[in-house]
Amino acid sequence: MTAIPALRSRLRDERVRTWLSLAPALTVVAVLFGGAVVLAGLRSIGLLSPVAGDLATGPSLEAYRSLAGDPELQRAALLTLHVAATSTVLSVVLGVAAALTVHRLVRGRRLAITLLQLNLPIPHVIGAVAILALLGQSGLFARVGARTGLLDAPADFPALVFDPWAIGIIAQYVWKEVPFIAIVALAILAARGDRLDDAARTLGATGWQRLRHVTLPLLLPGVLSAAIIVFAFSFGTFEVPLLLGSSFPAVLPVLAYRRYTDLDLAARPEAMALSVLMTVIVVALVLLGAWLARRAVRADRADRAGRGDPGGRGGRGARTDQDGDRPDRTEVAP
pLDDT in tens, 161-171: 888 889 999 99
Confidence of residue 49 (pLDDT cuts 50, 70, 90): low
Confidence of residue 3 (pLDDT cuts 50, 70, 90): low
Listed by start position, the domains of the chain span 41-307
197 in Cβ contact with 135 (< 8 Å): no
Is 190 or 49 the better-scoring residue by pLDDT? 190
**Residue 186, burial from CB neighbour count under 10 angstroms (0-12, 13-18, 19+):** buried
Rounded to whole angstroms, how far apart are CA atoms 132 and 118? 20
Confidence of residue 192 (pLDDT cuts 50, 70, 90): confident
Rounded to whole angstroms, how far apart are CA atoms 158 and 138? 11
Mean pLDDT of the chain: 81
45 in Cβ contact with 60 (< 8 Å): yes
Give, in degrees to the nearest 5, the angle at Cα 69 between 64 and 70.
90
pLDDT above 90: residue 95: yes
Confidence of residue 51 (pLDDT cuts 50, 70, 90): low
Rounded to whole angstroms, how far apart are CA atoms 308 and 293? 22
End-to-end CA distance of the chain: 43
Predicted local distance difference test score (pLDDT) of residue 307: 60
60-70 average pLDDT score: 83
Which residues 6+ apart lie within 8 Å of 193 measured at CB? 312, 313, 314, 315, 317, 318, 327, 328
Rounded to whole angstroms, how far apart are CA atoms 94 and 177? 10
Confidence of residue 312 (pLDDT cuts 50, 70, 90): very low
Inter-CA distances, 283 with 233, 271, 280, Å: 11, 18, 5
Predicted local distance difference test score (pLDDT) of residue 194: 76
pLDDT above 80: residue 320: no
Is 241 or 7 the better-scoring residue by pLDDT? 241
CATH of 41-307, one of 3.40.50.300, 1.10.3720.10, 3.30.70.60, 3.30.420.10: 1.10.3720.10
